[in-house]
Amino acid sequence: MVSLEEIKARAEQAVSGAQLEIISNPGPANQSSLLLDHDHALAVARFLRDDPTLRLDFCSNATGVDWLDRTVKKKVKVKKLIEGEEKEVEETQEEFFPGYLEAIYHLYSMAQKHGPVVVRLRTPDRAQDARLPSLTPVWRSAEFQEREIYDLYGIHFEGHPDLRRILMWDEFIDFPMRKDYREPDDYEYEPTPHDDILEKAKQHYPPRPPLDGAEQITA
């Protein structure tokens, strides 16, 4: 199995203009990954599949990850003039990292029996219609898995032959695997609302019309 650096260099040579980046994985599993750019993702994927020494013909796993916006607080020493004297003061600075959605593919080779090579695609932001190129034309096994990513994360895969919801029903509107997903405040499925749920239900539904006296009839 060739190293990831070598794969990156060869892919960049084979696909002109491709910009790849190695994302290192700090854990003991040591599975670093390759970040593809959108414009050349399909060409690089074809190269990975067809290259005679790599032959990554088997896309085992395709999945999405939602990374939220995050601010990292850092303590930095800054020199400042305090009462005419220059002093070193500790200050906390906040650095903002915008969130993004990610699609991850785990590639193996059935011909050469090696792997995995992990490939990533990232959206620029977490918008409702975040777009990524589909890799289904290269690996058929991504067909249902990309549909699942679309269903649960809301990434639209361009070039996918049949992008529909797969696990949730078609009328469902939100994307439940996103980290900021909130369950709809909808208690119509609670047959006998009580306590907190009754209070919430009251805010959401108009009061029921009074019954026509039938409730007063007792046995």
Question: Footprint of other proteins on this chain (CB under 8 A)?
Answer: 25-29, 31, 57-61, 63, 65, 104, 106, 110, 113, 116, 118, 139-145, 148, 152, 165-169, 176-177
Please report, as a single letter, which amino acid is at residue 118.
V
> How many degrees, rounded to 5, is the angle at CA 34 between CA 65 and CA 15?
125
How does DSSP assign 3-48, residue by residue? Answer: -HHHHHHHHHHHSTT---EEE---STT---EEEEPTTTHHHHHHHH
**CB closer to other proteins, 41 vs 59:** 59
CB of 1 to other proteins, least distance (A): 12
Q: Based on CB atoms, which residue is closest to other proteins, 12 or 176?
A: 176
Which residue's CB is nearer to other proteins, number 51 or number 57? Answer: 57
Residue 194 burial (10 A CB sphere; 0-12, 13-18, 19+)? exposed
Min CB(134)–other proteins separation in Å: 14
Torsion of CA 32, 38, 40, 42, to 10 degrees: 80
| Nearest distance from C-beta of residue 195 to other proteins, angstroms | 23
> What is the SS3 assignment for 203?
helix
- CA geometry: angle at 142 spanning 6 and 133, to 5°? 70
Residue 36 or 143: the one with the smaller Cβ distance to other proteins is 143
Least distance to other proteins from the beta carbon of 166, Å? 7
DSSP for 80-100? EEETTEEEEEEEEEEEEE--E
**Residue with Cβ nearer other proteins (29 or 76):** 29
Least spacing, CB of residue 161 vs other proteins, in Å: 12
* 3 state SS of 119: strand
Q: Decide whether 144 or 187 has the Cβ nearer to other proteins.
A: 144
Closest contact distance (angstroms) between CB of 182 and other proteins is 12
